[in-house]
Each structure stands twice: as structure tokens, then as C-alpha cells.
């Protein structure tokens, strides 16, 4: 798709990322030169989205080993990057893969191998995104047979090309449907407090996919009004029983979807499935800085980026970044292997 630009790519012995903290107002690229640069980019959400976080961590290891491929630096890089964000299992999956590949190797070949493995992780995510898009397209084609007018799809947060190394997870079927000529319209919730829904709207606008931005609290009303045909969201971790962690607010949408008999799909690569995590209660939920709720970033009258205060500095704030949707509320999980029912995950080997 011509509208897609790499969110992360190697440039010599450095890595270039799209700084997502400045979207949708500014498209700005950053050059990462060190382990600390990579860790900061993940922690501060300059890169975000579970698959992209995993790839960024892999490249962070490669950056760390450029000048010091020792066992000590490998362990330091692994530890530093694991501590950046707790909920997205793709980060730990990618680091496990890097460690398993690199630890047995002589230090003389370790740096080159790190770059090769990081690139393999990036390419694997791109391929997984394409497969998710094709499997999801089949579902959307079937749903469109029973609708009049555009197929009305609701999503939450951003799970498109900004959050991955390819076409996205939840947005991949939508992009595939649009490319195939299917008449679709997307309801995009703003996703407070970080407003990742604005990134989804920015993406869809660039691709020409019809969409409408709505306040998070409008989602239930839209479903009750018969203006939604299905919901597709991404995931940051899927437990062995199918319980799914995604951006906070997902659970409320799943409850409303169940109340109105609407299909609710999670789209994610198999690397997001955590077989070591038995259920949603075992998923660590990241709590972020209170000022993400108290303050709002936007454009001032002169076009400059500015932060505005919404709540008093002393206001008590609870700011969970994710919530957990029970497996029983999911219609299916769209991954690169196909469309799975949640209770089939226990026997699925994640490679």
C-alpha cells in the first residue's frame, strides 16, 4: 500500500523510527543510536503497539551490541529493555528470541547476528500482518452479505501500520477490504487519555478509508442504534485461556457488543499469545503517569504543539493503560494461522 511508510527501519548501524508522540500533528522521524535511545523510545511511547514494541526491542539489542558484544552487555540490554513496558508480551517474546539466538554465539559474530535476527523479527511481523488481513477479509466479506450500505466496523486504539511493521493487526482486514473494493466505514473512538484513536483516523485518512471519529463514550450508543455491524480490536497480550489485554476501554466495548449481539474480534499475531499466562488475572496491567489524564497535548493557535491542563495538578488520578476482556466475550481471534476460537489457544504452540 503506497500510503504506508516504515515505522521502524535500519539505517547503517542506527535505527530510524517515526516519533508517534508528535502525531497526528507532525510527521517526524528520530534516529536511535544506542540502547538508551531504544529503551526511551519504547518507554515514552515514541514507538507503540505490541508488535512494533517487540521489533524495537530487538533492534535495541542490536544497537547495544555494536561496540560491545560481550555477555555482560547482552544481559544488560535484555534487562533494560524488559523493564520498559510490562503488558505487551511481544516485547518479552522478541527479547527471548534474541537471547536464545545470540547467547550461544561467539562474541566475534554476535553483533552481525543481532542485526540479522532483528530484521527477521521485523519481516515476520510484516508477513503476519498480511496474513491477518487476508483471514479477516474473509470474515468481513461474509458480514457484508447481510448488510445494506457500507459495512460498519468499530475499532479501539490504534492497531494499524503505526503499531506494527506492516499493515497492522485490527486495521489489516479493513485495509484488505478497502483494497478489494468492499464498501466499509470505520467508527474510530478517540481512546483517551493518549488519544491513539487520532492516529487511527490519521492512518485511515491517508489511505482513503471512510471513517468517523467519535468520543469514547459514544460507542455504546452507536451499537444500540444499529449503526455498528462488528468490532475488531488489537491486543497486547492474550492469555492461554483467551482472556485479552488491550487498550483500556476495550472491555466496555466488548460488553456493549455482547449486549447487542455484535461480533467482537481480536486481531493479533501469534507472538501476542502468552501460553505461560493462564488467564487475564495474571496479566500485568501497566499504570502510567497521572499527567496523561490531567494534561492534553494539541496545537496552539500559532500551530505549535502545546500542553493544556484539564485537571488540577493535585487531582488524584488512576491511569491504567490496559484492561482485560474475558475470552467469553470474544467471537474469535484473527491471527496469521486463521480465525481461532479462544478455547483453542491452549493447544496452540507459539513458535
**Any idea of the CA torsion for 129, 8, 92, 94, to the nearest 10 degrees?**
70
Q: Which residue has the cell 539466538?
A: 101
- Whether the Cβ atoms of residue 266 and residue 235 lie closer than 8 Å to each other: yes
Rounded to an integer, what distance in angstroms lies between the CA atom of residue 8 and that of residue 25? Answer: 19
Q: Which residue has the cell 517515526?
A: 18
Instruction: Write down the catalytic residue from 125, 236, 243, 323.
Output: 236
Rounded to an integer, what distance in angstroms lies between the CA atom of residue 335 and that of residue 332? Answer: 10
**DSSP one-letter string for 211-265:** EEEE-GGGHHHHHHTT--SEEEE--SEEETTS-EEEETTHHHHHHHHHHTT--EE
Rounded to an integer, what distance in angstroms lies between the CA atom of residue 35 and that of residue 333? Answer: 34
CA of residue 318 relative to chain centroid, distance: 22
Rounded to an integer, what distance in angstroms lies between the CA atom of residue 25 and that of residue 202? Answer: 9
- Whether the Cβ atoms of residue 188 and residue 212 lie closer than 8 Å to each other: yes
Nearest one of 269, 279, 280 to 350, comparing CA atoms: 269
- Whether the Cβ atoms of residue 15 and residue 59 lie closer than 8 Å to each other: yes
Active site residue 236: yes
Instruction: Quickly count: other Cβ atoms within 10 Å of residue 108's Cβ.
Output: 8
Rounded to an integer, what distance in angstroms lies between the CA atom of residue 52 and that of residue 21? Answer: 14
335 sits in which H/E element: strand 332-335
CA of residue 246 relative to chain centroid, distance: 9
Neighbouring-strand partners of residue 188: 155, 213
Is the preceding omega at residue 193 within 30 degrees of 0, hence cis? yes
Catalytic residue list: 236
Amino acid at each position: 500500500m503506497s500510503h504506508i511508510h516504515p515505522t521502524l527501519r535500519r539505517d547503517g548501524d542506527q535505527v530510524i523510527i517515526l516519533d508517534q508522540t508528535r502525531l497526528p500533528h507532525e510527521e517526524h522521524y528520530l534516529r536511535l543510536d544506542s540502547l538508551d535511545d531504544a529503551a526511551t523510545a519504547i518507554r515514552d511511547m515514541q514507538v507503540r503497539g505490541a508488535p512494533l514494541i517487540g521489533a524495537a526491542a530487538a533492534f535495541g539489542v542490536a544497537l547495544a551490541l555494536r561496540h560491545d558484544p560481550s555477555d555482560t552487555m547482552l544481559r544488560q540490554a535484555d534487562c533494560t529493555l524488559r523493564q520498559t513496558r510490562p503488558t505487551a508480551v511481544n516485547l518479552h517474546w522478541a527479547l527471548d528470541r534474541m537471547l536464545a539466538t545470540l547467547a550461544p554465539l561467539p562474541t566475534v559474530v554476535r553483533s552481525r547476528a543481532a542485526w540479522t535476527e532483528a530484521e527477521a523479527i521485523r519481516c515476520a511481523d510484516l508477513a503476519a500482518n498480511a496474513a491477518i488481513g487476508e483471514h479477516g477479509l474473509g470474515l468481513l466479506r461474509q458480514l457484508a452479505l447481510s448488510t445494506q450500505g457500507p459495512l460498519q466496523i468499530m475499532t479501539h486504539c490504534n492497531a494499524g501500520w503505526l503499531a506494527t511493521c506492516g499493515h497492522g493487526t485490527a486495521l489489516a482486514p479493513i485495509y484488505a477490504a478497502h483494497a478489494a473494493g468492499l464498501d466499509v466505514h470505520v467508527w474510530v473512538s478517540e481512546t483517551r487519555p493518549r488519544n491513539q484513536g487520532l492516529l487511527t483516523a490519521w492512518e485511515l485518512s491517508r489511505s482513503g478509508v471512510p471513517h468517523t471519529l467519535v468520543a469514547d463514550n459514544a460507542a455504546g450508543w452507536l451499537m444500540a442504534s444499529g449503526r455498528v455491524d462488528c468490532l475488531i480490536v488489537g491486543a497486547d497480550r492474550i492469555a492461554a485461556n483467551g482472556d485479552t489485554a488491550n487498550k483500556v476501554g476495550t472491555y466496555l466495548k466488548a460488553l456493549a457488543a455482547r449486549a447487542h449481539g455484535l461480533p467482537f474480534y481480536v486481531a493479533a499475531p501469534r507472538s501476542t499469545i502468552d501460553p505461560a499466562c493462564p488467564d487475564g488475572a495474571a496479566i500485568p496491567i501497566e499504570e502510567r503517569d497521572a499527567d496523561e489524564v490531567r494534561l492534553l497535548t494539541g496545537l496552539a493557535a500559532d500551530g505549535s504543539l502545546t500542553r493544556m491542563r484539564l485537571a488540577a495538578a493535585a487531582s488524584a488520578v488512576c491511569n491504567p493503560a490496559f484492561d482485560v476482556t474475558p475470552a467469553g466475550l470474544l467471537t474469535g481471534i484473527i491471527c496469521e494461522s486463521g480465525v481461532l476460537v479462544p478455547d483453542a489457544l491452549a493447544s496452540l504452540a507459539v513458535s
